[in-house]
Amino acid sequence: MQTQSLWEHTLTFFPQFLSALKEHTSPDATVAVIGASDGKFVLPLAAAGYRVIAVERDPLALHGGEVRLPGFVIARAMGLIDRLKLEGLYDRVQVVEEDFLASKPLDRPCDAVWTSCSWHYSANHHRPLAEFVARMQLLVRPGGLFGAEFMMPVEPRHHLVEHYTSPEKLSRYFISAWHLLLTLRTTEFTERAHLGRLQDHTHRMGLLLAARTPGPPHLQEKKNS
């Protein structure tokens, strides 16, 4: 890549999602990225040959602009759209500039959906976590893949917000018509300062990967009975 995401060095379970994507979908599968930001995950997916739907509402992340970086450095950041054009990937990505929780569902099911640490942001706390997860699940076609990495509670205030969750709690939304593939968690770790958090800080993160069963739930139940 000629360009680099501002989030390039933050910890991620994305390699595990990519591995599951290769196993459960075709090489030209359609993948929706919810909370696409400046393309940390969108560009690698598009470069690997996948068709990508990038959902993001932040104008700065999409179009670039002035940002404050660690060390109180003011810099000009490149947005997702310019990065796609510079990398020659713009035609492989459909950019949806909307609030995922407030907009209409996408007009077609996807082979996979991925989100990274998006629902814990306070801007998304006006809707229950269950709604965020359900809207993502609706995007996944039968036989498709759901992937999410998320922040787990560290500070006392986090335990009062359901959006800081755990693999066990999140698994409750995947009882019917889903098959859990993988859950992971980290212990507490210190992450270097980055955009939005200008000092080193402590995190815990979790991962959940699930596959939607190939047929409608009632048919699946009959098959298993």
- pLDDT above 50 for 225: no
pLDDT confidence of residue 29: 97
Strand spans (E) along 97-192? 110-116, 140-151, 178-185, 189-191
Distances, alpha carbon 221 to alpha carbons 20, 152, 179, in Å: 25, 33, 13
169: CB partners within 8 A, 6+ apart:
none
Report which secondary-structure segment, H or E, holds 73: strand 73-77
186-219: per-residue pLDDT in tens?
A: 999 998 887 877 788 899 999 999 999 996 544 3
R_g over Cα of the chain? 18
Enumerate domains of the chain plus CATH numbers: 14-224 (3.40.50.150)
Tokens in use for 103?
Answer: 């907009």
pTM of the model: 0.91
- pLDDT above 50 for 222: no
Closest by CA to 5, choosing from 32, 36, 31, 47, is 36
Find out whether 117 and 195 touch, Cβ atoms under 8 Å. no
In Å, the largest CA–CA distance within the chain is 62
